[in-house]
Structure 1
Amino acid sequence: MKKLVVVIITTVMLFSCGKKEKEGEEYNPSASTEETATTDPSSYDPKRGEGKFTTVELGAALDQAMATKGEEVAGVKCTSCHKTTEEKLVGPGWKGVTERRKPEWIMNFITNPDPMIDKDPEVQAQLEICLVRMPNQGLADEEARSILEYMRKNDGVK
């Protein structure tokens, strides 16, 4: 019975962390690594990360509706690997992430993790601890922004 439970949980975690293919588009796992190989690692900005987000405007107050949407998205895409506390699950806990990282870095990482894993020394060190590479969840920009707002709420922004 215990073995069956372990198999079911493992299967759920694998499927929940997998890349979702867009309709009509084939998944090409080498696409992100080809892009990484052509970029100059010396141009990597550890404060911003790598991706399309150069600035992310945050309100002083929390956008409650956006945080609620982010909690819903995170419940489907993130919480099988991340806890909202400091405790590591599969990936690191989220507590304090918005205090340690700039919003541009967070947005770039959750929408474009592969090149950042390949280039960011702190992410590489975290990978040695977690032993699991963060998968690209194929999040829309709005979903990623909502997750960022949920992370801010988790870190006590009111």
Structure 2
Amino acid sequence: MRNLFGYMFCMLLFACGGSSDSGQSATQSAPAAPKDDGKGIGEITEVALNDPLDQEMVARGQEIYDLKCSACHKLTGQRVVGPGFLGVTERRKPEWIMNMITNTDAMLEKDPQAQALLEECLTRMPNQNVALNEARDILEFFLSNDQSKK
């Protein structure tokens, strides 16, 4: 009987004993959200802009826009399926624009600005499989569009 009582007492001590972290896990805060630098989510972290604009890039960018973007986006401020592009280079950083073009799914899942656009337009932008050099050409075209409308 004493052995049974001793055994039960030991089991009670082990069952009620605290963990080795001294209860700190309950008071630790969650890791801070990454700082939004306005560049979006993706491999584009720095974009060197041309001054003056490269007209060959502008022409290639317009061809890609006509093929992959124009069905849902206008070059004015008018929203069709997606938002209009007028002023996009003034509202967004070049890196954000290129990341949105090349890394659409991750941007819509994690970037607050992209998520706000999704809430506004109610339609996910499909991944168009645009290469980095093509995205840079599209950016040059957007810069040209914004400069011509001033």
Moved over 6 A (4+): none
**Aligned residue-pair number:** 118
> 2:61 aligns to what SS in structure 1?
helix
1:71-99 alpha-carbon deviations (Å, 9 max, x no partner): 00110000000000000010000000001
**TM-score (normalised: structure 1):** 0.70
Are 1:61 and 2:52 an aligned pair? yes
Could you tell which deviates more after superposition, 80-89 or 119-128?
A: 119-128
Are 1:105 and 2:67 an aligned pair? no
Specify the code of the residue in structure 2 equivalent to 1:124: Q
Q: Highest Rg: 1 or 2?
A: 2
> 2:126 aligns to what SS in structure 1?
coil
Counterpart pick for 2:72 among 77, 81, 88:
81
Contact 2:89 2:142 in 1 (8 A): yes
User: Which position in structure 2 is the counterpart of 1:96?
Assistant: 87
Distance 1:43-1:58 versus aligned 2 partners, 3 A rule: same
Specify the code of the residue in structure 2 equivalent to 1:101: R
> 1:86 aligns to what SS in structure 2?
coil
Q: In 1, Cα distance between the equivalents of 2:39 and 2:64?
A: 23
- What RMSD, in angstroms, separates the aligned Cα atoms of the two structures? 1.7
Residue identity over aligned pairs, in percent, reads 53
**TM-score (normalised: structure 2):** 0.74
Structure 1 residue ranges without an equivalent (≥5) = 1-39
User: Which position in structure 2 is the counterpart of 1:130?
Assistant: 121
Contact 2:41 2:111 in 1 (8 A): no
Following superposition, the deviation at residue 60 of structure 1 comes to 1.9
User: Which position in structure 1 is the counterpart of 2:13?
Assistant: none
